[in-house]
Amino acid sequence: MMKAGATDDDGHGGESMLSFHISTEVFQQIRLPDVCAFPDGNERAFLVLNESIALLLFNSSEQTSFDIWLMTEYGVAESWTKQFTIGPLVQVERPVLFWKHELLLEKASGQLVSYDLKSQGLKEFQVYGAQKSFRALVYSESLVPIK
């Protein structure tokens, strides 16, 4: 969950995410990086990258760039670190999922594409859906929380 313009327990304003720990049944509010105070039209997505929470900041337009931020220490707002920027990519609408060394993306046409983080190449799949319809989850059997 994301909460905009809220004040956390330490009196800090700005945007934050709300996490729920299933094992302890406790909510925790975690501040997002200050760069999240974007004007209207910019979007955010939370994904998992290298077993850590990743925040993607982007603006869906004719050419979309994605700033990738990683929370290097779970629950510590000061640990948000910008890792890299992807793009600009033409006609890419939104991120779907990180998978190994690739980022699955959805194009404005509803087509699924993959961006290889190592080669920086884009691969198109012959998979189409309604716009903003793709959802994906990575399943792994574990009772250990992500970092």
What are the extents of the domains in the chain? 2-128
* pLDDT bracket for residue 41 (50, 70, 90): low
At residue 71, the pLDDT reads 93
* pLDDT bracket for residue 115 (50, 70, 90): very high
Of the chain, the percentage scoring pLDDT greater than 90 comes to 21
The mean of the pLDDT values for the chain is 80
Average pLDDT for residues 11-16, to the nearest whole number? 68
2-128 in CATH: which number? Answer: 2.40.128
What are the structure tokens assigned to 45, written together?
Answer: 């997505």
At residue 2, the pLDDT reads 45
Minimum mean pLDDT range among 23-27, 34-38, 88-92: 34-38
At residue 140, the pLDDT reads 59
Instruction: Tell me: pLDDT of 4 over 50.
Output: no
Instruction: Tell me: pLDDT of 79 over 90.
Output: yes
What are the structure tokens assigned to 33, written together?
Answer: 């990086």
At residue 1, the pLDDT reads 45
Average pLDDT for residues 76-100, to the nearest whole number? 89
